Amino acid sequence: MQGNNHDDVRRHNLSIILRLVHRGGAASRAQLTRLTGLNRSTIGALVAELVERGLVEERTPDPTKLAGRPSPIVAASDRIVAIAVNPEIDAITVGAVALSGVVHRLIRYATPSSPSIAEAVTITAGIVAKLKRDLGEYSIIGIGVAVPGLVRASDGLVRHAPHLGWVDEPLCDLLAAATGIPVVAANDASLGVTAERYFGSGQGLTDLVYLNGGSSGIGGGLVIGGVAAGGQAGYAGEFGHTRVSDGIDTDSAGIAGTLEAEVTRHALLAALGLQAGETDADTLERALLASDSLIVRNLVNRQLDFLAIALASAVNMLNPQLIVLGGFLAALHAVDPERLNVAVAALTLPAAFAEVSIAPAVLGSNLLMIGAAELAFEALLVDPQQDRGNTTGLPLLGFRAADTAAPTFSTSQGHPLS
Amino acid sequence: MQGNNHDDVRRHNLSIILRLVHRGGAASRAQLTRLTGLNRSTIGALVAELVERGLVEERTPDPTKLAGRPSPIVAASDRIVAIAVNPEIDAITVGAVALSGVVHRLIRYATPSSPSIAEAVTITAGIVAKLKRDLGEYSIIGIGVAVPGLVRASDGLVRHAPHLGWVDEPLCDLLAAATGIPVVAANDASLGVTAERYFGSGQGLTDLVYLNGGSSGIGGGLVIGGVAAGGQAGYAGEFGHTRVSDGIDTDSAGIAGTLEAEVTRHALLAALGLQAGETDADTLERALLASDSLIVRNLVNRQLDFLAIALASAVNMLNPQLIVLGGFLAALHAVDPERLNVAVAALTLPAAFAEVSIAPAVLGSNLLMIGAAELAFEALLVDPQQDRGNTTGLPLLGFRAADTAAPTFSTSQGHPLS
DNA sequence: GTGATACGTTGCCAATGTCAACAAATCATC
DNA sequence: GATGATTTGTTGACATTGGCAACGTATCAC
């Protein structure tokens, strides 16, 4: 229950403009005027401040067919960069993502075994140090980490990452100390839903359920009423432990009859005769679609029916607009979307089912990079004036590398923003 | 994505002060200063505006033991009134609830049979007309209806109220036309969670799950991330249709093995040898606690275990701080809270279970009156300046009865606010 | 009664968005 | 190519609002 003062208005308006150009792509000043309802002169002043802070750039107007004075294009800067990190069992992936959506760098560092927390921090810090040098002229405003496990929202403590064997590890503090850059972390599936919500199949929706099927289990994330729902401590979205049967098989948490116990990637691979380590999501989907084995088909149907029970629970409880399926759940869905639809319809209230869609995730391998970068950008998007009070005259947005060697890009590719 | 201007700041600040004194009870100006972070002079100006609009009243300071000038007490007005309506199968209950929390009137109109939509509107409009006369000097700002069924949030259409037999009834429009007062409607359980959240056991919490057990089934409501989660169309919270077993019994929607199919008030009453129509929630709870029948105890245990499955799904999915149980679910809980706790713990992730509590609803029979009134107050709380632009000099907040007959109160009782 | 403390009130100030008038840049038409 | 219509950026005056400091006021402790 905080009161508003003038600074809040300015901050809010700057925040809205920055969010619009970051998430919606470049927009003309005239478009911003219409979208925000603010006055032309106000937009002019706000954009000027964002330009001065280096957060957006103004480009010459696009040639348009309309009469009238052309409006300059406002685009999020390529030079404001977040570092996205995703530690996994066999590799650590690090990306440098600009506010504009451009992925400047994408580095996958394979590890011989599942990294300990110390190894993960050391490896990441090393990659970050290199990125600092390479991206010397860019402002690195933060690091976002997508963790395959439970992450406490308040301080980024990794409560339990079963896959990696981490328990109660202060990942954020360690990585911040090792790099000198602010670090935020969250559950990977929560970040997946963030990415899908802003840049994927959930654009513009307010009530969104995301389920991701990974090799170690099923996780998910929620957007409810337009806000990412983390729950009290950030553990929301654990769909894998939803009860779907009276079976006795247990999941990773030792609970019987859950979605994660009944619907597994492992079982699908085994039925197909594929090796776990060598099969990515696309390969699995192609193999499932190509298979004419009755055993495989029966397994798929069985898993789809269990999945439907969990989705039905979510639909009845949350009345979402869209359910997004990622990982091997997307592959399952691709085999027989109609079966899933019918099964969910049979278990839900007609009114709630009427306007829900079930769709595969559209963002591919960059999903977690985009989500983790978004997490790191959030502080800046909430308050684009973070460096106010700075009297040095220098931009203080996050860390600025001292080294100014010309950057060379190994990867440079935009979000599917437009 | 709307921009802020000056009016928004003022509106927001007025809104916050009004919410504080409405939901938190009377507060001194000095307290408001501390709570909002606003300046003393600003609080003075804002409170003066609210007083002028008749929304709050300033009282002489309470005698305090502190040194210094005493601060006037700001309290929500008794004269700003919302009308709460709850149609049920055997009666229509109408209450007149003041912004201060005082319940000026509470009228239960018994109906010989389940009312049709036309009957419900006519009966309600009659009671409202009488309330208008009786409360002539008061401003009636709106009507809130708690409907036992699915209500579309966008326009208050009653999609399906199985208990009453209503399908796609434009209740809000009909009642607004019959009374001349703006009407809003929502699902009764959603309003229950609103009431519990602001005035009951969920005060100050941001993530809250509410399940209510009624004679016709099990409904519920959610507060997620501090906002009431209605889902895309307002149908969220239908916990009754969560799958809890592989059983073949079906619920009111024809779905088998759901919470509502396995956990019923009817079965409890039958085991106790009680009549449905004559047993209220308290009586049921006392009978359950007093019973030493093994059959009853086994049934209770069975129902508690099924309830635990549904609650565990909610905990894993939503990571709430509190689960509130109302109606006969509170009675079930009272019999053996520990059994329920243990059963939920066994089905949830330890991290998510660690900080969740399961508690009975504390608001009694006034629950829906308070929730429905809150729904009607919401527009005023969002924008206390609703009548700006009014040049007549008269207060235009909602309807003002023409008749000024001195009101006599049949019921006058405060919320459990303080 | 005196001082300390806490708080309301008042007048001035700074920040911000709005508005209206004007300038600039484009398209359509002649 | 000149002209008008249209759209938009720019500029300066303006209104509104909350912050702030000085002052006044009401209580308590001694």
The CATH number given to whatever domain includes residue B19 is 1.10.10.10
Residue B402 has pLDDT above 80, yes or no: no
Instruction: Tell me whether residues A351 and B6 touch, CB distance under 8 A.
Output: no
Is there a contact between B271 and B296 (Cβ–Cβ < 8 Å)?
Answer: yes
CA of B9 to C1' of D15 (A): 15
B309 at the A interface (CB within 8 A)?
Answer: yes
Instruction: Tell me whether residues A238 and B352 touch, CB distance under 8 A.
Output: yes
Instruction: Tell me whether residues B1 and A12 touch, CB distance under 8 A.
Output: no
pLDDT (0 to 100) of residue A6: 64
Q: Which of B3, B227, B312 sits opposite A36 (nearest CB)?
A: B3
Same-domain status, A309 and A238:
yes
**Residue spans of chain A under pLDDT 70:** 1-6, 387-418
H or E element that contains A143: strand A139-147
Strand A139-147, strand A183-187: pairing? parallel
Q: Is the CB of A388 under 7 A from strand D?
A: no
Residue B78, phi then psi, degrees to nearest 5: -75, -15
Same-domain status, A209 and A308:
yes
| Domain closes at, from A46, A76, A106 | A76
Q: At B215, is the pLDDT very low, low, confident or very high (cuts 50, 70, 90)?
A: confident
A270 at the B interface (CB within 8 A)?
Answer: no
How many CB pairs lie under 8 A apart between chains A and B?
Answer: 203
pLDDT (0 to 100) of residue A281: 84
Q: Which of A9, A206, A236 sits opposite B318 (nearest CB)?
A: A236
Same-domain status, B207 and B356:
yes
User: Within 10 A of A393 (CB to CB), how many other CB atoms are there?
Assistant: 6
Strand A158-161, strand A103-110: pairing? unpaired
Cα separation of B386 and B348, whole Å? Answer: 46
Cα separation of A289 and A299, whole Å? Answer: 13
Residue B37, phi then psi, degrees to nearest 5: 80, 5
Instruction: Tell me whether residues A2 and B20 touch, CB distance under 8 A.
Output: no
Q: Which residues contact B301 (CB under 8 A, 6 or more apart)?
A: B336, B339
Q: Which nucleotide is nearest to A49 (CA to C1')?
A: C16
Same-domain status, B213 and B136:
no
Domain count of chain B? 3
* % of chain B exceeding 90 in pLDDT: 81
Residue B378, phi then psi, degrees to nearest 5: -55, -45
- Six-digit token pair at B263? 């956990």
Average pLDDT of span B106-120: 95
- Measuring CA to CA, how many Å separate B104 from each of A148, A171, A187, B368, B411? 55, 56, 49, 15, 6
- Six-digit token pair at B232? 């895309």
| Domain closes at, from B50, B76, B102 | B76
Average pLDDT of span B177-199: 95
Residue A402 resides in a domain: no
| Domain closes at, from A21, A53, A76 | A76
Strand A227-229, strand A217-224: pairing? antiparallel
Q: Is the CB of B43 under 7 A from strand C?
A: yes
Residue A391 resides in a domain: no
Taking alpha carbons only, the member of B340, B134, B125, B320 closest to residue B237 is B320
A345 at the B interface (CB within 8 A)?
Answer: no
pLDDT (0 to 100) of residue A5: 67
What is the identity of the amino acid at B132?
Answer: K
Is there a contact between A415 and A370 (Cβ–Cβ < 8 Å)?
Answer: yes
Instruction: Tell me whether residues A242 and B313 touch, CB distance under 8 A.
Output: yes
Region of residue B137 (phi > 0: left; psi between -120 and 50: alpha; otherwise: beta): alpha
Q: Which nucleotide is nearest to A5 (CA to C1')?
A: D18
Q: Is the CB of B389 under 7 A from strand D?
A: no
B94 at the A interface (CB within 8 A)?
Answer: no
Same-domain status, B110 and B155:
yes
Q: Which nucleotides of D are covered by protein (CB under 7 A)?
A: 4-12, 15-21, 24-29
The string of pLDDT tens digits covering residues B335-348 is: 999 999 999 999 99
Q: Is the CB of A8 under 7 A from strand C?
A: no
Same-domain status, A171 and A206:
no
Residue B410 has pLDDT above 60, yes or no: no
Instruction: Tell me whether residues B37 and A3 touch, CB distance under 8 A.
Output: yes
Q: Which residues contact B326 (CB under 8 A, 6 or more apart)?
A: B192, B196, B210, B211, B212, B213, B360, B361, B367
Average pLDDT of span B200-221: 92
pLDDT (0 to 100) of residue A60: 85
Q: Which of A3, A160, A309 sits opposite B13 (nearest CB)?
A: A3
User: DSSP E strands: which ranges in B291-356?
Assistant: 322-327
B342 at the A interface (CB within 8 A)?
Answer: no
Q: Is the CB of A38 under 7 A from strand C?
A: yes
Same-domain status, A213 and A108:
no
Residue B406 resides in a domain: no
What is the identity of the amino acid at A280?
Answer: D
pLDDT top residue among A288 and B386 = A288
User: Residues A309-337, buried b or exposed e (16+ Cβ, 10 A)?
Assistant: bbbbbbbbbbbbbbbbbbbbbbbbbebbe
- Six-digit token pair at A417? 């923003």
Cα separation of B149 and B167, whole Å? Answer: 10
Shortest alpha-carbon distance between residue A100 and chain B (Å): 19
Residue-wise DSSP of A229-270: E-TTTS----GGG-B--S---B-TTS-BTBHHHHS-HHHHHH
Average pLDDT of span B96-111: 94
CA of A418 to C1' of C24 (A): 30
User: Within 10 A of A41 (CB to CB), how many other CB atoms are there?
Assistant: 9
CA of A39 to C1' of C25 (A): 20
Same-domain status, B281 and B247:
yes
Residue A53, Cα to own-chain centre: how many angstroms? 26
Instruction: Tell me whether residues B233 and A38 touch, CB distance under 8 A.
Output: no
Residue nearest to nucleotide D24 (CA to C1'): B69
Cα separation of B196 and B270, whole Å? Answer: 30
The domain containing residue A91 runs over which residues?
80-190+367-382
pLDDT (0 to 100) of residue A3: 63
Q: At B387, is the pLDDT very low, low, confident or very high (cuts 50, 70, 90)?
A: low
- Six-digit token pair at A293? 């084995």
Q: Is the CB of A71 under 7 A from strand D?
A: yes
Cα separation of A115 and A372, whole Å? Answer: 19
Instruction: Tell me whether residues A244 and B239 touch, CB distance under 8 A.
Output: no
Residue B77 has pLDDT above 60, yes or no: yes
CA of A184 to C1' of C14 (A): 36
pLDDT (0 to 100) of residue A163: 84
pLDDT (0 to 100) of residue A32: 96
Same-domain status, A94 and A22:
no
Cα separation of A175 and A119, whole Å? Answer: 11
B255 at the A interface (CB within 8 A)?
Answer: yes
Residue B358 has pLDDT above 60, yes or no: yes
Same-domain status, A357 and A376:
no
Closest alpha carbon within chain B to A11: B4
A352 at the B interface (CB within 8 A)?
Answer: yes
What are the residues facing B64 on neighbouring strands?
Answer: none
Same-domain status, B227 and B99:
no
Instruction: Tell me whether residues A349 and B241 touch, CB distance under 8 A.
Output: yes
A239 at the B interface (CB within 8 A)?
Answer: yes
Average pLDDT of span B387-408: 34
Q: Which of A233, A239, A255 sits opposite B355 (nearest CB)?
A: A233
Give the ranges where B135-179 is alpha helix by DSSP (H).
171-179
Q: Which residues contact A81 (CB under 8 A, 6 or more apart)?
A: A96, A97, A98, A99, A104, A135, A138, A139, A140, A141
Q: Is the CB of A65 under 7 A from strand D?
A: no
Give the CATH number of the domain where residue A175 resides.
Answer: 3.30.420.40
Residue B396 resides in a domain: no
Instruction: Tell me whether residues B246 and A246 touch, CB distance under 8 A.
Output: yes
Q: Which nucleotide is nearest to A68 (CA to C1')?
A: D7
pLDDT (0 to 100) of residue A416: 36
Same-domain status, B266 and B289:
yes
Cα separation of A372 and A190, whole Å? Answer: 10
Closest alpha carbon within chain B to A322: B232
B51 at the A interface (CB within 8 A)?
Answer: no
Is there a contact between A85 and A146 (Cβ–Cβ < 8 Å)?
Answer: yes
Q: At B22, is the pLDDT very low, low, confident or very high (cuts 50, 70, 90)?
A: very high
Residue B389, phi then psi, degrees to nearest 5: 95, -10
For tokens 């492992």, the residue is: A266
Taking alpha carbons only, the member of B282, B277, B250 closest to residue B266 is B277
Closest alpha carbon within chain B to A252: B349
pLDDT top residue among B31 and B6 = B31
B222 at the A interface (CB within 8 A)?
Answer: yes
- On the 0-12 / 13-18 / 19+ scale of CB atoms within 10 A, B392 is exposed
pLDDT top residue among B3 and B42 = B42
Give the ranges where B96-252 is alpha helix by DSSP (H).
117-134, 171-179, 188-199
- Six-digit token pair at A177? 């100390």
Residue B297 resides in a domain: yes
Residue B407 resides in a domain: no
Residue A307 resides in a domain: yes
Taking alpha carbons only, the member of B263, B248, B349 closest to residue B301 is B263
- Six-digit token pair at A408? 């060379």
Instruction: Tell me whether residues B347 and A242 touch, CB distance under 8 A.
Output: no
Average pLDDT of span B26-36: 94
For tokens 């979510």, the residue is: A314
Q: Is the CB of B40 under 7 A from strand C?
A: yes
